[in-house]
Structure 1
Amino acid sequence: MGIQNGREIIEQVAQEVADYAPEATTEELSRINPWRDLLPSQDGVLRELIYIGHVLRDLTPTTLPEDDYQLFSDLLRSLETRTNISWRVYEESEIRNPIMSACNRKPIPDEPFDINKRVNALHKYWDALSILPEKPGRWLDESDTTFIPPKLRGRQISDGEGGALSQLQEDDAIFKLNLTPEQNTEATKVYQKWRRNRDHKVSYLKLHPPTPMAWFPVSSSSTGASTAWNEVFPDGKIGRGRHVASSKLVGNKKWKPMFRSLLTENIPFDWVDPSGYEIDWDLELKESNEDYERSKERRAKQSEYQQVLKVKLSEEKAKEEL
C-alpha cells in the first residue's frame, strides 16, 4: 500500500514538472485585455442602453399596476430593432442581465404588450448569437465595429407585438426611442454614474490586465475540441484539475478566454486614476443611497402586490372547486 502511494506521488510530481510553464506576462495579457477606452461614437448608444437596463430591472420580480407599461414596451422595442449595438457595447453595458433576469419572473395576469413573451424571445435570440464562432472576442478591435443584427427588421409589427407605436417600414428602419425631458435627465444621471465607475476601474485594468477566469476551445466540434486539448496536453492525459499555464493559451487561436465582469474584478480601494480624474466619493455615496432606498421601496411594493395576487389566485381556485 505504501509503495503504491509512493508511486502515485512520484507520478504526480513528474506530471507537474512536465506541465510546468511560466504564467503569461503582463505584456502577453495586454494582447487579450478586454478593458480599454470606449470609442466616443459609442457614447450615445451606451447612454441609452444603460438607461434601458436601469428601467427594465423593474420587471423583476414582478411589475406593478401603476407601472408605465408603454415605456417598458418602447424600451424593449428599441432593443429588438437596434442596429447600432456593437458586441463590445453589448458586453460593456451588460444589457443582457436585466433581460435574463426578467425571463425568470412570473408576469402579472393580463400584462400588456406581450412583455414576458418578448423578453424571453429576445434573451434566446441574443444567446444564440453569442455562441456563434464569428462573434469577435472582446479584446479585438472588431468587437467595436461588428454590430448585432436586430431581432426585428423591415416589417409591420402588429399591436400584439408591442403596440401601435412600434412600426417598421423599411429594411434599415429602427424604432426611434423618444424620451420625455424627465426621462432624458434620468438617463444622463444614470449613465454618468455608470461611466464614472466604469472608467475608474478600467484605468487600473488597462495597466494591470486581468488573467482570464477560464478558457474554452474555440471549436464546438468534438474533433476541434480534442485537437485543442491535445495541443495543450500532448500526452493525451486530460484530467480534472490538471494545471495549464496561461502562457500556453494566450495567443493560441484554438482557445478563447472568459473574463470576469467589471463588478467582480479586484480593484484596489485606494487606486487613483493616472489621468488625474478624481471621483467625488461623497456624491457616489449619496447617489448609491438614493438608489438603494428607491429599490427598497419598490421591493416592498412588489412583495405586497405578490401577496395580493396569491390571495386572489387562492380565491379563484376555491371558487372553481365549488
Structure 2
Amino acid sequence: MNPLLRRMLTSRLIRYPIYLFLLLFLFLCLVGIFLPEDYYWEDPLETDHHLYAGTNPYRDLPEDQLTVVKEILFTAETLRDVFLPTSLPDEDDYGFLSKLVRTLETREDISWTTLRETGVDSTLGHIANRRVFADEPYELTDRFRRLSEHWSRLALEEGKPERWEVEHDVTFLPPVLKVKGLEHQGGVNGGVEEEEEEGVLGALLTGEQREKMEERWAEWKKNRDRSVSYLKSHPPRPLAWFPVPKSQAGKIAAWTELVDDGAVEAGKSVDEERVVASQKWKPWYVGWEMEDVPMEWRAPGEEDMTPEEFDRWMAKFNRQREWGDERKRKQEEIQEKLKAGRDMVWEVKDEL
C-alpha cells in the first residue's frame, strides 16, 4: 500500500469517527434487544387521530339522501353558472330556472349535511349579493335573497347539530314555502304547475340535462369518496377553534380555562389537548375539497383512469372551459353596458 495512503487511513481523523460509529451502532443494537416488542415511537398521525377522532366531520353520505344531494348539487351549480355574475337575457331560460328555484323553496328533504355538501346556501348568498346584473323575471333576485336569509337564520338557531354529529345527517330544514306554484307569490307566474311533484327534478330536465347531472354526480361522488376514505382514517387537524359561549363573560371563562394561572395574554401558548377536552370550545373544519389528501390515495375498489378515459375527460374539460370563457365574455359585455347606462343616468341627475 502506498505509504501516504496508509498514513491517512491510520490517522486519528479517520480512526476516531469509525470507532464512534461502531460504538453507536452497538448501543442501538443493545437498545433494540431489551426494548419490549410492542414498543413504538409516537406517530404524529396517531396523535392527531387520538385528539380529533371524536369531532371528525367526514363520513359516508347516508344512502337514502344520495339522490337529494345529486339534485341539489346540480341545481346549485346550474344557478351558479347562470347567475354569477349576471344572467344573459337573450340566452337563458328563466322559466326553467324559476322552476329550479321553486324546488329549493319547497323541498322538505334538505338536511344540514346536504346543505353543507352542495354549498347551495353559499351559492345563493353570492347570487343575492350581486351588484351589477341584468333584469330578471319571476322575482328571482328577491327569492334568492329570501332563501339565503332563511337558511342563515336556521343556522344561527340554538340546537343546530355540529357536522360530526349524526343529527347533522338526519335533521331536515323546514322549507321557506309550504305551497306549490308561484301564483301564491304576489301573482307571479313562474311556470310551475300545481300538480308538479315537489323535490323531483326528473320531470323538469331534458335528456341532455339529466345526462349532464348524472355525469357531474359520478365525478363529484368519486372525488368525495376518495378524499373521505382517507379522512375517515386520518382525522384532520381543525383549521380553528371557537368558544361555544356567546356572551363576553362566557368567552373570557373559556379562555381562562386553557391557562393554568388564569392570565390570558396575546401570544401565550395553549395546550391543544386541553382545548380538545374542553366543552367550551368547538373546532371548525374546512370542506373535504380543501383538506390535505395524498395525490396517490385511492378509495377502496377505485381504479385509475385508463388513457382513453383520461383523453375523454380532458376533451370534456376543454369544452367546458371554452363554454365558460365564452359565457364570461358575454357576461362582461352586459355588465359594461349596464354600468355605462347607470353612469349616464347619474350624469343626467347631476345636470338636473
**Which structure: larger Rg?**
2
User: How far, CA to CA, are the matches of 1:163 and 1:24 in structure 2?
Assistant: 58
**Pairing 1:238-277 to 2, within 5 Å after superposition:** 238-273=264-299, 275-277=300-302
TM-score normalised to the size of structure 2?
Answer: 0.75
What's the offset of the Cα at 1:144?
0.9
Once structures 1 and 2 are overlaid, which stretch shifts more, 188-197 or 152-161? 152-161
What's the offset of the Cα at 1:142?
0.9
In structure 1, the gaps of 5 or more residues are 1-21
Change (3 A) 1:109 1:303: closer
Matched with 1:37 is 60
Higher relative contact order (CA 8 A, sep 6+): 1
**Is residue 69–residue 112 contact of structure 1 (8 Å, CA) maintained in 2?**
yes
97, 104, 108: which one aligns with 1:72: 97
Matched with 1:215 is 241
What's the offset of the Cα at 1:263?
2.4
- Residue type at the aligned position of 1:59: F
**Pair 1:205-2:231 in alignment:** yes
- Residue type at the aligned position of 1:38: L
User: How far, CA to CA, are the matches of 1:155 and 1:186 in structure 2?
Assistant: 27
**Pairing 1:190-201 to 2, within 5 Å after superposition:** 190-201=216-227
112, 115, 123: which one aligns with 1:87: 112
Query: CA-atom RMSD, angstroms?
Result: 2.8
**Pair 1:236-2:268 in alignment:** no
User: How far, CA to CA, are the matches of 1:143 and 1:277 in structure 2?
Assistant: 28
Q: Secondary structure at the match of 1:256?
A: strand
Matched with 1:125 is 150
**Pair 1:60-2:84 in alignment:** yes
Equivalent pairs: percent with the same residue?
Answer: 36
What's the offset of the Cα at 1:163?
2.7
User: How far, CA to CA, are the matches of 2:100 and 2:51 in structure 1?
Assistant: 40
User: How far, CA to CA, are the matches of 1:24 and 1:133 in structure 2?
Assistant: 32
User: How far, CA to CA, are the matches of 1:162 and 1:264 in structure 2?
Assistant: 41
285, 296, 318: which one aligns with 2:325: 296
Change (3 A) 1:175 1:196: closer
Matched with 1:305 is 334
- Residue type at the aligned position of 1:61: P
- Residue type at the aligned position of 2:262: G
Q: Secondary structure at the match of 1:88?
A: helix
User: How far, CA to CA, are the matches of 1:244 and 1:87 in structure 2?
Assistant: 32
What's the offset of the Cα at 1:270?
1.8
Aligned length: 297
User: How far, CA to CA, are the matches of 2:174 and 2:180 in structure 1?
Assistant: 15
In structure 2, the gaps of 5 or more residues are 1-43
User: How far, CA to CA, are the matches of 1:155 and 1:272 in structure 2?
Assistant: 44
Matched with 2:71 is 48
Change (3 A) 1:59 1:164: closer
Matched with 1:6 is none
What's the offset of the Cα at 1:110?
3.4
- Residue type at the aligned position of 1:48: E
**Pair 1:106-2:127 in alignment:** no
- Over residues 48-80 of structure 1, what are the superposed CA-to-partner deviations in whole Å (9 max), with x where a residue is unaligned? 011011111121111111211122222222112
Once structures 1 and 2 are overlaid, which stretch shifts more, 57-66 or 308-317? 308-317
